[in-house]
Amino acid sequence: MNFLAKLCGIAAMALAAGTAAASAGTIDDIRARGVLRIPAILNEVPYFNKDPRTGEWQGFVIDMASDIAKTLDVKLEVVESSWSNAILDVQSGKVDMAFAVTATPVRAMSVSFSDPTYYNSFIIVSAKDELTGKTWQDLNDPQYTFAVDMGSAQDLITQQYLPNANILRFKTRDEAIIAVTTGKADGLVNTMLNGLVISKKAPAVGTVKVPLPVLSTPSVIALNYGTDETFKSFVSAWAEYNRRIGNNQTWIVKSLEPFGITLTDMPEGFGFGG
């Protein structure tokens, strides 16, 4: 009996240990690892920017991720990636989350989304005054030619709102910008944040114009589908809290300051809080 009792006790302890290991969630895994991992893209200001001298990453995404890491009491680890690979990095478990993701139905089949961290808007950057004050319907005309980076969220917008306009699709944003500056396209379709920086860095491309109605889209954090609900709830709560009290806007505006961009440069009708 003593042997059986001892055997049962060992089995119970093993079962309890197994149950505890199974119940260990994503937050426990991150804390045990000691780092929160995110993908970052080179030269994608104001989102990311890596100092070539120090190797230090900057940008509002880094500030946001650093705050989450601080809340979890871990360090931030930045994994160099690209916009096209960031979702794959989340799917494969290479990173814990990816920021600045536009929530689209197609992407929702690959990763989970948090609540919005901020809202962005789709705009057109152009030097042509005739495009000022136009509606998306006005611009949906074969007389206009627009450039866009292929496969992006703004590319989806051109397919939905500008099916009758001439659309030049390029592999990179820089190629699309060159098409505008060389006169091959009337304007660049992009997002508000990118548009403001582009117009400052390359004045020849023109200024930001906001067609009506304002098309506002949530920027979210992408998470692996296998992530437990506790972690998903935590990330969404972080996003909602910091968006509503204005922290996310503060981080974004700070990242725009080196380009001389302030809140007063934001067109009427645009707001980071949605």
Domain boundaries, the chain: 28-120+217-265, 122-209
Residues 179-219 have pLDDT tens digits of: 999 999 999 999 999 999 999 999 999 999 999 999 988 99
What mean pLDDT, rounded, does the chain reach? 90
Beta bridge pairs of residue 102: 219
> In the numeric block, which tokens belong to residue 175?
């190629």
Just give the CATH number of 122-209: 3.40.190.10
| Domains 28-120+217-265 and 122-209 agree in fold | yes
Block residue for tokens 């309890």: 16
pTM: 0.85
How far apart CA 67 and CA 117 sit, in angstroms, is 13
| Amino acid at the residue 199 | S
Give the pLDDT score at 212: 93
Give the pLDDT score at 8: 42
Quick check: 92 pLDDT over 80? yes
Q: Which positions ≥6 away from 177 have C-beta within 8 Å? A: 147, 188, 198, 202, 205
How far apart CA 70 and CA 211 sit, in angstroms, is 39
The dihedrals phi and psi of 216, each to the nearest 5 degrees, come to -100, 135
Mean pLDDT confidence for 31-53: 95
Which homologous superfamily does the CATH classification assign to the domain defined by 28-120+217-265? Periplasmic binding protein-like II (3.40.190.10)
SS3 208: strand
Residues 133-189 have pLDDT tens digits of: 999 999 999 999 999 999 888 999 999 999 999 999 999 899 999 999 999 999 999
